[in-house]
Structure 1
C-alpha cells in the first residue's frame, strides 16, 4: 500500500475509534524543541492534574491516600509525589474495579503476554493509546520513518482463527508484513526475505530475539540482508542484548533502534541516533528506587490514562544508572540500560538466589563469536538446571564442555548443557532467558 494512503487510512480509523493520535502528535511536535526545564514543568502540571483526578474519582487511590492524611490539594511538591504508595502487580489483579475512575472513558484493555509469569490487564483510555502511538511515531521520525510507511513485523501470532483474522486486518491497516516468531525457521526466513524483496519495506520491527534469528537464518542461507535496504531495525518487548544489536546491524547494514515499554503504561523510552533511550515525559513519569550493583528499580506513571490510572507502578524492571545527557541535544531525559526483570531469580539447590540475568554474561563473547545463537536456562522442580543452546555457525562440539565450565563458575553448581534445534517461545512469542519447568 502507498505510504500516503496508509497514513490517511490509519488516521481516519483512529479518529473513528476516538483515539486522538493527530492531536497527540501535534502536542509532541510543539514540545520537541523545549528545554528540559520547561518539559519538566509541563510534566509536573500533568502529574498534579492526574493526582487530583485519581483522588476524586478512583476509590483505591482515594482510600489509600486518605489513610495517609492526604487530600485532593496535597500534591504541592515532587517530594510529596515520591511519598505516594507504590502500585503493585497484585493491586492490578485484586483491585482492578477499584482502580477504575467513576467517570466513563472510551478505551481498550491492554494485557501483558504473561511471559513474566504474572499476566495483568489495564483499561487504557483512548488518550493513553494516542500518546503511546504518537511517542512511537516521534521516535520513528528520528530515523526518517513516517507512520504509514510499510514495514516487516516479526512478532507473535494468535493461534485461533478469530485472532488470526484480527491480526490480518491490523496488518493491513498498519501497512505491515508479518512473520510469526513462532515459526521462524530457515525456510520461513528465506521465504520472508524474498517476500520483502518483492514488496519493499522501510524498516523491520519486532522482538530482538525474532529479528536476530531472522538475521542469523539469512546469513546461514547465504543471503545478504542489506539488499532489503531498510532504514532501521526497531526492537521492543524484550531486553536487546549487545551481541543481538551487533549481529542485526551487521546483517542488515542499518541502525538498530531499541525501544522500551510495557502493556500497562505504553512506550517508556525509544533510542535516538546516538543510541540513548529518551523518556517521553510529556506523557510518562519514570522514577527509580535505589538498588544495588549500579542498578535501580523502575516505577512508572501513565499521565494520560484517566480511565484506570496507573500511578507509581512497580513494573519489575531494573535500569542501570547512567549520565542523564545525550549528544543528540534533545531535551527529553535519558533512561539507562534496561537489565531485565528484578523478580526473575534462579534459586539454586543450596538456597542461594541470583538474578536470572547474570548468566547472560556468559554469552557475550559467544554471541559475538557466532558460536551460540540463542540460549535458555531451564530450572526443574528438583532445582537442577539445564542450559539449552541453539548452535551458531561457528559452533564446535568442544563448546559443550567449555560452556558447562563457564556456567559452573558463574552459578556455583553443575549445569547440563544441551544443544537443541529450537527453543519454545512464551506469551505472544517472546523469548525468555530463564524459565521454570512445570
Structure 2
C-alpha cells in the first residue's frame, strides 16, 4: 500500500468514526427501568395497572423524556411468587442494566424485592404492596412505597368504624402478610378510638382458596355486631355471595379494605353489598381538573374507564420519571437523595414521598357501597389525604430501624 493510499484509508476511518460518534452524541440515550408484577396471578388489577404505566411512559417520552433521554421499561411477570420475583430482579439488574426496579403487588413478594434491593444496593419503588413492614420494621434506604399502606387505610376505616354503635367485631382476611398486617393495625387503631370494642372471632382463609360458606357460618356463629373484611378478588366474590345467602350481613355493619375499587366491585355486579364502609376509587364521580385529564387520556388510549390499578401504575412511572429527572444520574445514592421529599403531581393531587420512612402521602377515597343500574358503586365518599393518616416522625423513629 502506498503512503498516499494509507493516509487516505486512515483519514476515511477516522472520519467515519467521527461521524458515528457525532451521530451517537446527537441521539438520546435510553434510561432503562425494571418493572416486576404478578400479571399471570392477578390480572384483574395488574392489566389496568400495566395500561396505566404504559400511558405514563408514553407521556414522559412525549414531553422530553428524562432530561432528553428516553425512558424504557423492561417488564417481567413474577406469577405471584417471591422466588420468581427475585429471579426477575436479578436478571433486570445484572443482565439488563436497569437504573432501578419498580412494581410489586402481593406484600410477601414486595418484601422479597425490598430485601433484594437492600442487598444489591438498587432502588426499588414499590407501587402496590401495602404491608407496613415494607417501610417500618423491615424498611431500608433503597425501598420507597407509593400506595397508601395498611396503617393509612386502617386509620381511615377505623375513623369511620369508631362512629358505629357496634361493640362486638369479627374479622376475615387472607392468611398471609397483607391480611395479617391489615387486621392487626385495624384492631389497634379501633381499640385506641373505642376501648369498649371487643373482637370475638377471626377467620383466616388461604389466599385464593376461601370456602365462603364455612367462613360465613363461622362468623355468624360468633354473633358479631360488625365485621372487618380484608378479602379481595375472587375470594371477595365468594365471601359476599355465601355471606348474603346465609344472611351474615343482615343488620350488621361491614367495614372493608379495597372493596370500593372497581377491580373488585364490578365483578360482583348486582350482588354487590350495600352500605359497606370501604376504601376504593369512584372514577365515575370524581370531578377535578387533574383526574378529568387523566381519565380522558386513559379512555382515549384504551377505550375503557380507568381502574385503581390504572391510577397506581400511572403514578408509579410518573414518580420514577421525576426521581430520575431530579437525580440527573442513575447512581443509587443520587436516586435515593432525589426521592426523599419528592413532590409529584397525580390525578388525585400532589403527593410527597416522606424522607423519614419513604412512604408517599397518596391517599384513598372512603365511602359506602351501593347498587346502581345493576352494578356496584361507591357513594357518599370523600378523599382522605394520606398525609393526615400517617404517624408522626417521633413514632416512625420507634417503628423503623435507624442507620
| TM-score normalised to structure 1 length | 0.33
**RCO higher in structure (CA 8 A, sep ≥6):** 2
| TM-score normalised to structure 2 length | 0.36
Q: Select the structure of larger CA radius of gyration.
A: 2
Report the structure, 1 or 2, having the larger helix content: 2
